[in-house]
A and B are shown apart, each in its own frame.
Chain A
Amino acid sequence: MKSLKNHLSLILPLFSIFFAIEFYIVLDRVIKDYENGLREDYIVLISADREIDKEDLTPYIDVESLEEIDSKSLVSRLEREGISVDFESLKKFMPRFYRIKLEHFPTGDELKRIEDRLKRVEGVKRVETFENSHNKIYNMLIVLKQISKIFLAITAIISTLLIFKQMQVWYLEHRERMYIMELFGAPLWMRSGVLIRLAIVDTLLSLAALYGLFYYLLNAKIMQNLLGVVSLKISLSQIMVDMALLGVFGLAVTLFSVIVVSVRQVGQ
């Protein structure tokens, strides 16, 4: 029972911090994927009284592609709505319409700057950035990111405090044994042997528990439906790579804690 308690008191903070970091990484990855998806769909429309090409815009904004909208298609739309139009005479007065795809999904402020700069381009008469719908989506992403950052920060603080507490417990529990071993000439690694084993085993158990949780969550129907709605995929192999990195991080934290406890004990 005492042994289980000893393990749990390290596994819980480790698991919490691993979960928070992995959650943040996964959410960040999802948000980036979602941003990419939005960027693919997102366009800025401009109308101009002259022919515009990409080189006209690049001094002002980062453009991925510029595509002219066929004015015939606009007129045929009017015709479909029952409005008879003389295309040839209309064409003389009609501006040229362009669809601009940006290199990245802009922030609200960036969008305002892009609009201002596009208006400075010679010949550009009107710019439509669909600011309202853009801001709604973008703000939602920002809120999600901020929430995950706050969640990560709170969990990191709590977990760090729990690990500090555990270091104090280790110190009190193992001080006497380590001191006696020191008196008989045991080197530092031997005196810390029990704690090193505990740190390695508990880090691996925390990672196994975390992998189990993510495996369960990603295979749960509700999660699959949710990800399907937003056309996103989270791969377990990517999570395995994260686990390996988290394992290295976790071992570094726990072994550092063991060294601190062992060095603190010397000569006590």
Chain B
Amino acid sequence: MANSVIKADNLTLAYKVDEPVIKNSSFDINSGSFVFITGPSGSGKSTLIKSFYGALKPVGGELVIGGVSLHDIRPSKLNFLRKYLGIIFQDYKLINEWTIKKNVMLPLLIAGYSKEVCENQAKKLLKHVRLSHKADRYPLELSGGEQQRVAMARALAHNPVIILADEPTGNLDDYSSNLIWNLLVGANEQLGTTVVVVTHHIPSDIRISYRHFHIEDGTIYEVS
């Protein structure tokens, strides 16, 4: 039986204590799963994924990621946990003062790999996302689709246990969208990485078995 890597028990998330975004929800996600989380705008999809990487702490219930409870997690432990996560943001969150290559190297530098190892891995990943020729450019010199491909490469750089993707293909061209879906599926199938994707629409042509959670009125349902 697969291990649970994300487990929520009566989870309540809120920005203001008396206005919960997610209410008393329980679910668990096993290691190696591919999960879609859908829901209308403002339903709390991004809030939920934020809580997975510890940017928002639960106000009620319990949330355990990789065996670590996020309720009263210390900053040093949160940093440790985040080293095992690959995060893709809707707004890319690339460091604009750094080159593309250095951006991809970031998780590896944090993990303490040598510069040479980081550079080789970054080059390999940039080749995967078809951006080798732009390795020394800066994020603002790239299109939105290219920036998201860089963010994808960065999320994969350190072979994370879990990839969390928040609307990874929103507003992207077909070429970049397909490339990103292929990489996410590839990471899940070939490396056994758990992938959690928040999206408005599940691509119709995706060829992988997945679980689907839907958020409505603050409650999370599993869609069978």
A residues with a Cβ closer than 8 A to B are: 176-177, 180-188, 190, 266-267
Complex interface: stretch among B33-41, B74-82, B171-179, B195-203: B74-82
What chain B residues lie within 8 Å of A188 (beta carbons)? 75
Option from A176, A177, A180, A186 in Cβ contact (under 8 Å) with B79: A186
Q: Report yes or no: B110 in contact with A180, Cβ–Cβ below 8 A.
A: no
Q: Judge if B87 is at the interface, Cβ distance under 8 Å.
A: yes
15 other contacts beyond A183-B53, A185-B82, A266-B75, with CB at 8 A cut-off?
Answer: A176-B95, A177-B95, A177-B98, A180-B94, A180-B106, A183-B87, A183-B93, A184-B106, A185-B83, A185-B85, A185-B107, A185-B110, A186-B106, A187-B76, A190-B109
What chain B residues lie within 8 Å of A186 (beta carbons)? 79, 106, 110
Return the chain A residue nearest B93 by Cβ: A180
What are 23 of the A-B contact pairs (CB < 8 Å)? A176-B95, A176-B96, A177-B97, A177-B98, A180-B94, A180-B106, A181-B106, A181-B110, A182-B79, A183-B53, A183-B55, A184-B83, A184-B87, A184-B106, A184-B107, A184-B110, A185-B80, A185-B81, A185-B107, A186-B106, A186-B110, A188-B75, A266-B75
Option from B78, B93, B94, B110 in Cβ contact (under 8 Å) with A190: B110
Within the assembled complex, what's the spacing in Å between the Cα atoms of A182 and B79?
A: 7
Chain B interface residue count, Cβ-Cβ cutoff 8 angstroms: 22
Within the assembled complex, what's the spacing in Å between the Cα atoms of A185 and B85?
A: 9
User: What does the 1/0 interface line of B49-60 toward A look like (CB < 8 Å)?
Assistant: 000010100000
What chain B residues lie within 8 Å of A180 (beta carbons)? 93-95, 106
Within the assembled complex, what's the spacing in Å between the Cα atoms of A181 and B97?
A: 13
Option from B76, B82, B97 in Cβ contact (under 8 Å) with A184: B82
B residues with a Cβ closer than 8 A to A are: 53, 55, 75-76, 78-83, 85, 87, 93-98, 106-107, 109-110
Nearest chain A CB to B65 CB, angstrom units: 13
Secondary structure dominating the interface of A: helix
What chain A residues lie within 8 Å of B83 (beta carbons)? 184-185
Within the assembled complex, what's the spacing in Å between the Cα atoms of A186 and B95?
A: 14
Within the assembled complex, what's the spacing in Å between the Cα atoms of A146 and B76?
A: 50
Within the assembled complex, what's the spacing in Å between the Cα atoms of A190 and B109?
A: 10
Nearest chain B CB to A260 CB, angstrom units: 16
For the complex of A and B, 8 pairs with smallest distance between CB atoms: A185-B82, A185-B83, A185-B79, A186-B110, A177-B95, A180-B93, A184-B107, A185-B110
Nearest chain B CB to A172 CB, angstrom units: 13
Within the assembled complex, what's the spacing in Å between the Cα atoms of A34 and B98?
A: 57
What chain A residues lie within 8 Å of B95 (beta carbons)? 176-177, 180-181
What chain A residues lie within 8 Å of B110 (beta carbons)? 181, 184-186, 190
Nearest chain B CB to A184 CB, angstrom units: 5
Nearest chain B CB to A154 CB, angstrom units: 36
Q: Report yes or no: A183 in contact with B82, Cβ–Cβ below 8 A.
A: yes
What chain A residues lie within 8 Å of B81 (beta carbons)? 185
Nearest chain B CB to A174 CB, angstrom units: 9
What chain A residues lie within 8 Å of B106 (beta carbons)? 180-181, 184, 186
What chain B residues lie within 8 Å of A182 (beta carbons)? 79
What chain A residues lie within 8 Å of B107 (beta carbons)? 184-185
What chain A residues lie within 8 Å of B78 (beta carbons)? 185
What chain B residues lie within 8 Å of A181 (beta carbons)? 95, 106, 110
What chain A residues lie within 8 Å of B53 (beta carbons)? 183
Within the assembled complex, what's the spacing in Å between the Cα atoms of A188 and B110?
A: 11
Return the chain B residue nearest A188 by Cβ: B75
